[in-house]
Amino acid sequence: MKYSIEKWSIEKLLDVVENGRLLLNPPFQRNFVWSPTDQEELIESIIKGYPLPTLFIYESSKNNYEMIDGQQRTRTLLKFIKKLISDKSGKFYSEDDFPNFKSYLLPIAIITQLDSADSLEEFYYRVNNLGKSLNRPELNKAKFIKTKFLKLVEDLTQREELKKLDLFSNQTIVRMNDRDFVEEIVSLIKFDFTDKKDAVNILFKNDISDKESSNIKNKFIEILNKILILNDIFPLNKTRFRQKNDFYTLFSLIYKNTIEQNILNKFYKIIVLIGKEITPSNDNSEILREYAINCVSQSNSKSAREKRYKILKNILMNQNSSPNKEQEDIISFYLEEYEVPKIHLSLIKVEQFFTFSWEELNSFYNVEFFDVN
């Protein structure tokens, strides 16, 4: 392979594109996928004079090129020139406001010759896959290193209480995805249920006060300590609640309700047992199937989070002696699946709640729980 490194001004790059001499979308290229935020950040980087990564192009014939890596950036520059990109305030950028914009120099690697065994597709793959790109939590650490919010979530991620639950693999920890999950738990405490990463983005951009940080930390640790007691009853990492979406739901149940620990212990045994039946393919239980589907389909959406929480709460915390919809579904499931008399699954009163007897449920499973009382 032969190539050269050149410096092109933005003006030259766009001129080559607009004159039809640079093909931006050869067959191996993906579509334009950059979000408005991605586009805005590129423009801001150029305005501030930050260096950009190298663009790779292939000279297919004399002064005619194909884009290998740099399509997203180039299309963003075209949109900027056409005044189609706005800043955080909603005002559209204009090159008239930045007279030096077009003179900004871009590093360009021009491939002039491929070896017989090489192909543009192979080179495209290697450029985009060798090494590990920075993921979301790694990028956020670089960008928001001085924020109180980042300091808080890093502190919480390192808490021994969380480590004892053994929820995260080594690879998850190495790529900071454990902290990414803690960010979502913190956003639950701060904002209640929200869509995906929206609340986390707000917390990074707007930051939090020292008082907010302290209050969130105390609440987080309080709930973790409750969950640690549950973990002593039966290891959390041997249940479905080791999974992020299920753990989020369990955490939200404890956070949003005042539940005495002795009652919570009974609830935990119930969901450990019923959790064995939660699958998207459970045709005998509409409720358990719905819960499972909301763990895998749009699972981080506000709607899915609310549905999982509602199902779990209604299974456990009915304040009426008559079974509610969710409890009726569970009873019907066990009647059909295990062919047991209905009387064996009647509700019992636990303080102010009407719920299932974990002992009766456990007659189907014989799980060994450790009694912490």
- Convert the pLDDT of each residue in 75-106 to its tens digit: 999 999 999 998 877 888 888 889 899 999 99
Q: What is the structure's pLDDT at 198? A: 87
* 57, pLDDT greater than 70: yes
Which of 115-140 are b and which e, b meaning 16 or more Cβ less than 10 Å from the residue's Cβ? eeeeebeebbeeeeeeeeeeeebbeb
- Closest residue by Cα to residue 204 from 156, 146, 158: 146
Q: What is the pTM of this model?
A: 0.72
pLDDT, mean of residues 355-364: 94
Q: pLDDT tens, 176-228? A: 999 999 999 999 999 999 987 889 999 999 999 999 999 999 999 999 999 99
What whole-number percentage of the chain has pLDDT above 90? 73
Weakest-pLDDT range from 76-80, 122-126, 135-139, 366-370 = 122-126
* 117, pLDDT greater than 60: no
Close Cβ partners of 239 (under 8 Å, ≥ 6 residues apart): 246, 272, 275
What are φ and ψ of residue 90, in 5° steps? 95, -5
Q: pLDDT tens, 11-22? A: 999 999 999 999
| Cα 90 → chain centroid | 26
Mean pLDDT, the chain, whole residue set:
91
Q: What is the structure's pLDDT at 93? A: 87
